[in-house]
Every structure is written in C-alpha cells, then in structure tokens.
Amino acid sequence: MLNQKSIGRYEVVSVLGQGAMGTVYKASDPVIERAVAIKTINLELSREERAEFEERFYREAKSAGRLNHPNIVTIYDVGETEDAAYIAMEYIEGEPLRDVLDSGVVLPLKRICQIAVQVANALNYAHENGVVHRDIKPANIMISRSREAKIMDFGIALIPTGSRTQAGTVLGSPKYMAPEQLAGQATDGRADLFSLGAVLYEMLTGATPFNGDNLGAIMYKIMNEEPVPPSRLNARVPEVFDRILARALAKRPEDRYPNAQEFSRALRSEAVLAVLNPAQPPQPAQKNAASAARRQAETDSDPLDVKTEILLPPPQHRSGKRAPAAAPAAKSARRPRRYALLLAIPATALAAYLALKPAAEAPVAAAADAGAQTEAGEAAPPPVAIIPPQAAPAQPPSPAPATVPAANKTTVAAAGAHATLSLAITPWGEVFVDGKLAGISPPLTRLELPAGAHTIEIRNGTFASHRVKVNLAADQDLKIKHKFK
C-alpha cells in the first residue's frame, strides 16, 4: 500500500503516516481539485467478517459524515479497493497533539484549556447528533496551523480489521479508555469524557493518569485505582484542575460530567479563570518584574503561539472621559498593566545594580524567567540573582550566584571556548550546573557553557533527580531530553 499511485478516484501525493490499521496519504481529488487526507483500513477478513465489516463501516462513516463542526475533521467520501477500505477526509495543515506532547515542551495552562474546551465542544456537538467517538487520544486530535484543535477518526473505533478481532469488540487506546469500555459494557458519550480527561491530565503533567509495565497492569489501574492529583506531579498546576479531573476520570459514568457541555463549562468556570488570569495587586518593583518575566516566559514557551481569547474575561468599558491635566498619576494608573510592568523592570535592574555592584565582573548565569539578553558590544546589565518561580523573595538576594534575565534562553558567560546545551524536560525541572541553579525548564531551553566537564542535574520534587556528567567540546551542541516518570 505504501507505493500506491491512486486510491479510488484520488491521486496519491505522499504518505503522511502509517499505523496498525493502515496508512494515511495526502492525495488530490481531480474532480474538484482539492487536497484530501485518505486513511486506508487493512482488510484481513473472512467472507462473513467482510460482510459484517461493510455494513458497520458504511454505517459508522455515514454517521460521522453528518458532522459539520469547526473542531471535527470533515469526512468527504468512503470506499473500498480489493484489499482495503478507505475514508477521504479534510486535509489539515498542522500536527497531531501527540507530536506536540512528545516534543518535550509543556504547554501553558491557557493553551491547554483552550485545546480541551475545543475538543469538549466538538464532542458535545457529536453526542447531540448521536455519534460517540470511543477513541479520544492525542494522536486523534490535530492542531491546525490556525491553532484549532480538530478531532479525527469518528466511528473508526467500532470497525473490526481482522479475524483476531471478535464481533462487537471495541478498539481503542487502553491508556485513555473508560472502565466500561475495558469491561466490554455498553458505552455512551461519557466514555469520551473519560478519555478527554486522560488527555487533559497528560497535557498538564506530561504523563498519562494510568501507567503500567503491561496492558494488564494498565487495565487494573483504570478499573480500580485513582490517579495521582495532577498538582502533585506538576507544582505549576492549580488545585482546581485536581477537582475537574477527579470528576472527569470517575470510575462510574454517572459520577462524571453528565455531558461534554458541562465539562467545557467547568474548564471556563470562574475558579479556572481566576487562576489563569489572576488579579494583580500593587507590588514592589522586584516582585512586579519577576511576575512579568514569568508571564512572558510562559507565553514564549508556547510552541503554538496562540491567543486564548475564549478564556479571557470581557474587557471593562470606560466612560471615555479624560482625566484632568493636573492628575497625571491617575491617568497613568489607567494605562494597561503591561506598561507598568515594563517600566518596573529597569527599576529592578537599577536596584540590583546598586546592591550588587562589586560583583559586576563575576561570571553571569541567565535566569529562566526573566527579560532580554544583552547584545555583544552593549553595556552589560546589572546582575540579578535567580529567583525560583514559587519562592521569589521581595528583596534582592545575596550577590552569589549573580544572574542576568533571559526569556527562553540562559547563557553562562565564561572566558575561552563555549558549547551549547539544549534542554527538553517534561513536565518541568530545576536545572543545576555544577551544583548551581541555572533556571527552570521549561521555559529554559538552552544553556551556553564553557567547554569542559560539567555535572548537570535536573530536579523535580515529585520524582527522583536526573543526573548526568558531560564533557563538552568547543562549539558542541548537546541535547539533554528527560521525562520524569
């Protein structure tokens, strides 16, 4: 099938992927001259099984083809060849959520909520039209170039693909399947909600809620054990998500959200918006700068660079009256908060410079959550000590170690030859170089180190530390990728 030139009336352009069920192609429809994605389904069936397959295949494809929603991949056509069935569907420029998660980057909370809300809204539409997906997982959620999440493969989970599949068996991905699916019981839309909960859990923590060394162990945990609350695996996850996921991943369907609309509403509740868009009370300059830098670093670390307008509360309308000229302070106070935060950064740097001036010539390490890096030839900015995100002091710390702010990149300056260390840490970790904290990854993704031997340690309070010794050559670019489990 990989050397196919055509499938039905469609002209094959390239292979997009291959799985256990078949191959996915990019193809062209010569009749209306549009690009399509074609998923083939291998047929290794007896005559009786093929008759059952054809009935179920067309029934499921017909049901899925009725769905017309911006967050569902549209099905255009279905058909059969001698050895395979195929579905022609909307071609999406983008990448599966599975690839996004496997890249080692943890998405910002706002982006995670946006994806989950879009999928929940699409499921609600499908369920209202009598269609249950039964195989929601990251590989079946496409992220388009326009930053939209789109569900693929509606109905395919009920299609048998070989003699080793018993009639009525529901296919799916065990790590994301609801307990009633594993038990072979009747399922409805609440099984999809369980699967979406598992996907949301993985986006928040970098790990699936139920893990095991083999299929039996995974199934046992899904049926009998409660998952670890996500806030315990990732300290950056607010506790409100513990409550949302506890309900979504409930063992009994009746204990979950009654429908996908309620799941979506929970992800857009005031409790969630409060932690995604916290109010900013007046703060000292040092704390303001650290908060602004953290927000900037979180935005920069989003590989999809998305604006989460659906999660932001409506703007407050002003009366339009101008403040009197004699009250410049009041006028300034009405400016957007971002200007105040940007003005606070130079003030913080000046305060740190006056406090740490004697150490200005010391080697400098950039922090993970700060501002811009100094260009070559410019006057070096004053050093600022690294401030972990959850324990930022109100006053500048002691002179050592001295650091310079940076958004997504940390540079350790030293005389002589240098090498680059690239980092991909999931879900997150404190990065120590030769016993000194260099930042938190993500958003920290790169370190410039002096050539030579170094000890790199990645710490996350929930897991055992990851430690590695490296011997870097001049101009070497070495990548460290680690996923805490």
Q: What is the pLDDT of residue 340?
A: 41
Q: What is the pLDDT of residue 157?
A: 53
Verify that 456 and 347 share a domain, yes or no: no
Is there a domain that residue 319 lies in?
no
Verify that 204 and 255 share a domain, yes or no: yes
Verify that 77 and 91 share a domain, yes or no: yes
Q: Is 192 left (phi over 0), alpha (psi -120 to 50) or beta?
A: alpha
Q: At what angle do helices 260-267 and 189-205 cross, to 10 degrees?
A: 30
Verify that 98 and 218 share a domain, yes or no: yes
C-alpha dist (Å) from residue 423 to 25, 330, 413, 432, 482: 33, 45, 18, 12, 8
Q: What is the pLDDT of residues 366-387, one digit of tens each?
A: 333 333 343 334 444 444 344 4
Question: For this structure, is 135 an active site residue?
Answer: yes
Verify that 294 and 270 share a domain, yes or no: no
Verify that 263 and 306 share a domain, yes or no: no
Q: For residue 144, list its beta bridge partners.
A: 94
Q: What is the pLDDT of residue 153?
A: 82
Give the separation between CA 453 and CA 451, rounded to whole angstroms.
Answer: 7
- Report the sign of the C-alpha dihedral through residues 29, 32, 36, 38, in that order: negative
How far apart, in Å, do the first and last CA atoms of the chain sit? 38
Any idea what the CATH number is for the domain that residue 150 is in?
1.10.510.10
Q: Which two tokens stand for residue 111?
A: 């982006």
Verify that 67 and 184 share a domain, yes or no: yes
CA angle 309, 312, 316 (to 5 degrees): 115
Is there a domain that residue 384 lies in?
no
pLDDT > 70: percent of the chain: 65
Verify that 145 and 239 share a domain, yes or no: yes
Indicate which residue of 77, 99, 135, 434 is catalytic: 135
Q: Which two tokens stand for residue 125?
A: 């539409």
Q: What is the pLDDT of residue 322?
A: 43
Is there a domain that residue 385 lies in?
no
Whose structure tokens read 């496409």? 142
Verify that 104 and 127 share a domain, yes or no: yes
Kindly report the backbone phi and psi dihedral angles of residue 399, in degrees, each rounded to the nearest multiple of 5, phi listed first.
-60, -25
Name the CA dihedral angle for 240, 242, 247, 248, rounded to a multiple of 10 degrees. 100
Low-confidence ranges of the chain (pLDDT < 50): 1, 159-171, 297-415
Nearest to 178 by CA among 165, 160, 190: 190
The answer to whether 297 and 99 have CB atoms below 8 angstroms apart is no
| Structural domain of 292 | 279-312+335-352
Q: What is the pLDDT of residue 214?
A: 87
Q: For residue 89, list its beta bridge partners.
A: 37, 75
Verify that 254 and 234 share a domain, yes or no: yes
Q: What is the pLDDT of residue 291?
A: 56
Q: Say if strands 403-404 and 365-366 run parallel, antiparallel, or are unpaired.
A: parallel
Q: What is the pLDDT of residues 428-477, one digit of tens each?
A: 788 899 988 887 887 688 888 998 999 999 988 667 888 999 988 888 88
Question: How many structural domains comprise the chain?
Answer: 3
Q: For residue 11, list its beta bridge partners.
A: 6, 28
Query: For residue 292, how many C-alpha atoms fall within 13 Å in the half-sphere facing its CB?
Result: 22
Give the separation between CA 458 and CA 431, rounded to whole angstroms.
Answer: 5
Verify that 96 and 166 share a domain, yes or no: yes
Q: What is the pLDDT of residues 326-348, one digit of tens each?
A: 444 444 444 444 434 444 444 44
Q: What is the pLDDT of residue 34?
A: 92
Residue-wise DSSP of 408-446: S-EEB--SS-EEEEEEEEES-EEEEETTEEEEEETT--E
